[in-house]
Structure 1
Amino acid sequence: MKATSSRLTVGSLRELTAIGVVSGLSAMYSTTLVCASSILGAVAKAEGGSAGPILDVVAGVFIMIALFVSGVVISNGVDTVIAGRRRELSLLRLVGASSKQLRDSLVSAVGKVALVGAAAGVVTGVAGAWILCAVLVSRGTLPRVHYDVLPPLVLFGAIAVVATAVAAAFVGSRSALSRASAVRTARVARSWLRDCAAAVAVAGGAVLLAGACYLGEQASQAGFVVAFFGAAVLATGIMLGAGRIVPSLVGAVGRLVGNSPSAVIARKNAVSDPQRTTRSTVGLLIGVTLVTTIAGGMQALTESVHSWEGMTPDDVRQAEQVLSVTSSVLIAMIAISAVIAAVGFVSTMSLTVIGRTREIGMLRAMGFTAKQVRSMITLESVALSGTAVVFGLLLGIVLGSVGAQSLIGSTTDGFVIGLPLPALAAIVACTVALVVAASLPPSRRAVAVTPVDALAVA
């Protein structure tokens, strides 16, 4: 066996299961969108329309969003795996393995897992899309025309998923497997240049968003374009500064979980490693923000309809119906990004708890009960996911409302804030389910190990 074999680098491919699931979800999503676009394009062509290229562009935008979220989740997942195997990797470095050898081994393992996941996702997506198509044709909903069973873009989508996973693995492992990674502490060394860039991007994004609102008030068609770039710049700044922003927010939310011994330790664990805190939270933050932005923007547009002059009650009702359908479709298309982020959060929580086996054994030896250990892990999950949801909801509502204002600001009095209560309630309910999914399996595994065995872990 080579010193840099994936069995030594990763330990077990099961630790990369989440990466395979994320790749599978991304491939299934891209395949479904491409097949749906192909089906609708064939229908439009048969009826003399030319909607095919437009549908391809729309599908491409949502696929790129999903790939971006997948890349963030996979990169964070790889970083978490490396953090949990730092001792083994340090030993490999001591016996002569270079950081490049370790990185190549890890990237290769991720590539294999992503390839398997992407293949399964393509098969599932193609089968699901064409079974649905056959059912709709048999019912007469779709015309009996020629449909391309396997559009070429499906293969490009699968390749993009694997390439994203490989690139994310390279990015996630590059710093962690550097020469200093064998002995570095968990404290993150952040450069002042990165912090300055983050501050400039956040400020610049805020200025662009304010400008988009002004252009919307002036009925300028450039308002929405400026709002898009403003949101992108603001998001870039938040990503650059996530290592400082997220742990501070988690620390603030952590104070709300209580003052019991389990809560105190959970609060300290949640922020003890800023890098781990950031990678556990940022993917979920992105997913919640995307969903809330779409829901908030459509809700702001819907509320603005009532203030438009010259519209009859029937016109208002029809406009609300169109916006409601559009909102449902867009949320359904973007929700996969939140699902991918949720998978990454559950995986990261599980791996970080496994990495703290010795610490949990010490707590058990000092008198912590199994119930207290489970409570500690659950409260830590609450602090991390709660931060992502609260910040994501606030950010999404602001971005969605600004987007709506940039479109219809000139026809609406004041600044309309979209508060999509059903969507917000659904996000909160999904968060509760996510906390349970992220805390129960690792907590059961943690209390299943006896204190003696846990303390024996090096």
Structure 2
Amino acid sequence: MLRVVLANIRAHRARLVAVSLAVLLAVAFMSATLILGSSMRATLQHSLGQDYAQADLVVVEDPEAQYTEEEIDSGAAPGAEDLEKLERAVSEVPGVAEVFVPRALDIAIGSGDVQQIFELRQLAPESFRDVTVTEGRLPEASDEVVMWDTVAEQFGLEPGAQLEITSYAGTADDSAQAEAKPATVVGVLETSRNPFAAGQPVIIGAPSGIEHFAAAPENVRMDYGTPAQILLDPSADPDAARAAIAEALPKLPGFHPTLQTPDDLLSERLEGYTGAADVLTLVMLAFVAIAMLVAALVIANTFAVIVAQRARELALLRCLGASSGQVRGSVLLEALVMAAVASVVGVLVAIGLMLGLVAIGNAGGLGGTLGVFGMDWTAVVIPILVGIVLTLVAALAPAREATRVSPLAAMRPLDAARASTRAGALRLVAGLVLFFGGFALLGVAAFLVGQAELALLVALGGSALSAVGAIMLAIFVVPRLIGWLGRLISARVPGRLAALNSVRNPRRTAATATALLIGVTLVATVYTGAEVARATFNQGLDEEYPVDVVVTLPALDESGEAVALDAAAFDRIAAIDGVEGLTPMRSAYFQEGDGRVWEAWAVDAREYDAVSRVAPVRLEGGAVTMADPPKNGEITLGGETMMDDASAEETTLRALRGGAPDSVLLVSPETLGQLPESQAGDGALLRLSDGLDFLQINEIRTQITELLPTSFVGGAALERAVFEQIITTLLLIVTGLLAVAIVIAVIGVGNTLSLSVIERTRENALLRALGLTRAQLRWTLANEAILLSVVAAVAGVVLGVAYGYLGARSVLNSVGEVSFAIPWAALGVVLVLAALAGLLASVLPARRAARLSPIAGLAVA
């Protein structure tokens, strides 16, 4: 039988294209998703974790550390001696090969009235270094520095440029006393891949440069953006070394350290960045599970068509002595060979697709989202095994059907399942139970809070059950829907014939519609889920960071004089392309009784509402507006203790709930004047146009810095752009894969229509003999395909919206409040394309039917 199977595959390759593509799609989808997860983590390791990717362990602040009131009040922070103490304590532990404690220094570059505040960072030792020199070389002498290419371009610097660097201690008096020292730019580096670091005014000096430029040892501080890093001796026991290092870590002023692995730290930062670690990968895996179920149904339907088309061939094999087991085995063997080849090709397609997307991402400035290709063995082996098993399971029912072909069997329509029969009634009841029971589970999963993994499992189970129920009910529902819709096109003969033919065989009609229903449902599910995720993330960002860009000026200049508001510069900022609104504000810092420092923004309520992305705020005299006010409705503020001249007075104000960013208090200008004395600086709040990408927003920030060199530019616009890039990139990936799903559906519709043409050969010939023209026969089949496609597309969109919203809600519920959103435009396009796809699927079967002459058709036995 093996030779028969292989010969059959070679002779009839074309009819295996549909099922091969179904397997290829499922395997490619799964493999691409696994590669996507690996690539995203590799990209994050390459970007967020760039500064500590070479380390075995990192030293970070203990999130559970308990600080004394004295430490909080003093505002103490580790100095140069403390950092040396930490480095010495760790390096003395057995098993430690090398330690790097990053140091930083706040500096001012320039002279006179033109100065720019920078952060001078220490170049990491070679063992921990991950930098690329684009021009010049790395710094070696203490007075040599390098900078990122974006910073060099922004300030017009290149290797050989001379700078004047002054140690900046945070107050004008200290900075004025510091001596300006010359420095030489010796190189330019590729900008850090870390999206949080990119765009920041940073230069990098030699290890001895920090002490060289520091006016005093106490000016040297920790580099809070880069953790201390440890390399272990390859021969050391990692667990024992980690325990010994943890025991040796000293407590420093304002910094109680703890140990983590780079991967753990990366996971924490990722969780804080997205709101939930790997949440998007979980969403993708949910879609993969749905795709696997859908692919199994498509495979089963397509093999059923293949078996029906081979009825005479199977009958001939039985006449030649083949047993039922051999016939069944031949079908399964054919499925196995085809699945193995298609699965391997599917994995190769997934690898090629992901390599292409990574290349496109890097070329298009999306490297921070998907810039590194990552893959492990699971992305190859598991999808291939799943593809083979999936195909064999899906082919079991058609294989059993093949054994029912008797030697005298001829091609004839299958009997329709009717609700009046025992089997039909059981199918109807089972379908209703599975469909509504599955959606009930989906509803439960959608409202499970704080149990993301359980909610995902329940949602997957509910989706699978309801999908099976929908397929079982299709034989009862689809023909009725087609019958109702068919009345609209029954004015002419082709329309009447199409309406009658579509409902004559409910089983064949349901199988035909199911192929397209599956593809449309999956497309609608993905687009709805992505739209819900996008709306939810944007809503969360709006509530946490309602202002796109915040521009703040220092309270005092280098001479100790108050920095005056440059109204002309603000007017030029408001005129920058992409800036929709700007409102001025004054910013000052105050300390609450428990030591928490708040930034207060004095704004006009109406002007703030014009730039805020949340509901209008209420500002009252003697009150502050904040995101989460204390339960007693009051807050007590004093002058910021970090300022030498801070007031010891305290003022108690009413606390109102409103659209303020975290750690920010909104007050009226009059209320700011009632608060304890604290140095206040001018600033502005900006709202940007919707739809700007990361590069456009970064360009706006650069232009603002050029107009106000001493300003600090912050806000949530960059984070919002990163979220948009993530959603857009993932949607691009899924759309590419689901475009293949629609192709599979078109081929499935074409195959089942071909079977319908074969079944009705004599009938079509009789109609031709009675006067039906070839054009009318082709239009009859086209109308039949349109009826099937429109019904399947509408049903698929309805199901897809329900699956997408409930599925996304089950995953995102633990993040916060989930928004309801429907991608109307995308779904409209899906409906139109689905109808056109069904029409396209009828072309070849209609041409085949029209070619057959009435005499030849009537002669078919």
TM-score (norm 2): 0.46
Unaligned runs of 5+ in 2: 54-261, 268-276, 418-422, 549-612, 615-689, 691-716
Q: Distance in 2 between matches of 1:421 and 1:220?
A: 30
Bigger Rg, which one: 2
Q: Distance in 2 between matches of 1:121 and 1:300?
A: 29
Q: Distance in 1 between matches of 2:482 and 2:823?
A: 25
Q: Secondary structure at the match of 2:842?
A: helix
Q: Distance in 2 between matches of 1:411 and 1:201?
A: 30
Q: Which of 288, 312, 318 is the aligned partner of 2:546?
A: 312
Q: Secondary structure at the match of 1:186?
A: coil
After superposing the two structures, state which structure 1 stretch, 161-170 or 227-236, moved more: 227-236
Partner of 1:374: 778
Q: Which amino acid aligns with 2:16?
A: L
Q: Which amino acid aligns with 2:512?
A: S
Cα gap change, 1:156/1:232 in structure 2, threshold over 3 Å: closer, same or farther? closer
Q: Which amino acid aligns with 1:196?
A: V
Shift of 1:234: 2.5
Q: Distance in 2 between matches of 1:151 and 1:238?
A: 35
Structure 1 segment 357-436 matched on structure 2, within 5 A:
357-403=761-807, 418-436=821-839
Q: Distance in 2 between matches of 1:358 and 1:237?
A: 35
Shift of 1:262: 1.0
Q: Distance in 2 between matches of 1:247 and 1:10?
A: 37
Listed one character per residue, the Cα deviations across residues 143-197 of structure 1 (whole Å, up to 9, x for unaligned) are 9x99667745313322322332222112333245337895886223434333322
Cα gap change, 1:340/1:323 in structure 2, threshold over 3 Å: closer, same or farther? farther
Q: Which amino acid aligns with 2:415?
A: R
Q: Distance in 2 between matches of 1:376 and 1:455?
A: 19
Partner of 1:196: 429
Partner of 1:437: 840
Q: Distance in 1 between matches of 2:816 and 2:285?
A: 31
Do the aligned partners of 1:22 and 1:340 also contact (CA within 8 Å) in 2? yes
Q: Which amino acid aligns with 2:859?
A: A
Shift of 1:372: 0.4
Cα gap change, 1:326/1:303 in structure 2, threshold over 3 Å: closer, same or farther? closer
- The answer to whether structure 1 residue 243 and structure 2 residue 475 are counterparts is yes
Structure 1 segment 9-408 matched on structure 2, within 5 A:
12-46=12-46, 47=49, 48=53, 50=263, 54=278, 60-90=285-315, 92-93=317-318, 96-130=321-355, 133=358, 151-175=377-401, 177-178=403-404, 182=409, 186-189=414-417, 190-211=423-444, 215=447, 225=456, 229-300=461-532, 312=546, 314=548, 322=723, 326=727, 329-330=730-731, 332-333=733-734, 335=738, 336-403=740-807
Alignment RMSD, CA only?
A: 4.2
Shift of 1:22: 2.4
Do the aligned partners of 2:18 and 2:748 also contact (CA within 8 Å) in 1? yes
Q: Which amino acid aligns with 1:326?
A: I
Partner of 1:453: 856
Q: Secondary structure at the match of 1:367?
A: coil
Listed one character per residue, the Cα deviations across residues 236-256 of structure 1 (whole Å, up to 9, x for unaligned) are 322333332333333333333
Listed one character per residue, the Cα deviations across residues 321-344 of structure 1 (whole Å, up to 9, x for unaligned) are 636852662474262544433432
Do the aligned partners of 1:354 and 1:442 also contact (CA within 8 Å) in 2? no
Cα gap change, 1:309/1:284 in structure 2, threshold over 3 Å: closer, same or farther? same
Q: Which amino acid aligns with 1:360?
A: N
Same amino acid, percent of matched pairs: 30
Q: Secondary structure at the match of 1:284?
A: helix
Q: Which amino acid aligns with 2:327?
A: L
After superposing the two structures, state which structure 1 stretch, 115-124 or 182-191, moved more: 182-191
Q: Distance in 2 between matches of 1:224 and 1:12?
A: 45
Q: Distance in 2 between matches of 1:351 and 1:233?
A: 29
Do the aligned partners of 1:84 and 1:355 also contact (CA within 8 Å) in 2? no
Do the aligned partners of 2:437 and 2:465 also contact (CA within 8 Å) in 1? yes
Do the aligned partners of 2:764 and 2:857 also contact (CA within 8 Å) in 1? yes
Listed one character per residue, the Cα deviations across residues 112-145 of structure 1 (whole Å, up to 9, x for unaligned) are 23333333333344344446556767999769x9
Do the aligned partners of 1:397 and 1:418 also contact (CA within 8 Å) in 2? no
Listed one character per residue, the Cα deviations across residues 256-301 of structure 1 (whole Å, up to 9, x for unaligned) are 3333211121112212222211221223212222222332344456
Do the aligned partners of 2:308 and 2:755 also contact (CA within 8 Å) in 1? no
Do the aligned partners of 2:309 and 2:755 also contact (CA within 8 Å) in 1? yes
Q: Distance in 1 between matches of 2:413 and 2:749?
A: 23
Do the aligned partners of 1:37 and 1:56 also contact (CA within 8 Å) in 2? yes
Shift of 1:108: 1.5
After superposing the two structures, state which structure 1 stretch, 192-201 or 422-431, moved more: 192-201
Q: Secondary structure at the match of 2:432?
A: helix
After superposing the two structures, state which structure 1 stretch, 76-85 or 187-196, moved more: 187-196
After superposing the two structures, state which structure 1 stretch, 103-112 or 182-191, moved more: 182-191
Listed one character per residue, the Cα deviations across residues 66-92 of structure 1 (whole Å, up to 9, x for unaligned) are 332221111101111222333443454
Shift of 1:363: 1.8
Q: Distance in 2 between matches of 1:383 and 1:177?
A: 33
Unaligned runs of 5+ in 1: none
Cα gap change, 1:180/1:196 in structure 2, threshold over 3 Å: closer, same or farther? farther
After superposing the two structures, state which structure 1 stretch, 420-429 or 9-18, moved more: 9-18
Q: Distance in 2 between matches of 1:2 and 1:25?
A: 27
Q: Secondary structure at the match of 1:200?
A: helix
Q: Secondary structure at the match of 1:419?
A: coil
Q: Distance in 2 between matches of 1:244 and 1:199?
A: 11
Shift of 1:105: 1.0
Q: Which has the higher contact order (CA 8 A, sep 6+)?
A: 1
Q: Which amino acid aligns with 2:761?
A: T
Q: Which amino acid aligns with 2:546?
A: T
Q: Distance in 1 between matches of 2:809 and 2:373?
A: 40
Of Structure 1 and Structure 2, which has the larger fraction of its residues in strand? 2
Listed one character per residue, the Cα deviations across residues 368-399 of structure 1 (whole Å, up to 9, x for unaligned) are 11110111111111111111111111222233
Q: Which amino acid aligns with 2:762?
A: R
Do the aligned partners of 2:482 and 2:788 also contact (CA within 8 Å) in 1? yes
Q: Secondary structure at the match of 1:241?
A: helix
Listed one character per residue, the Cα deviations across residues 343-374 of structure 1 (whole Å, up to 9, x for unaligned) are 32333333433443333222212211111011
TM-score (norm 1): 0.81
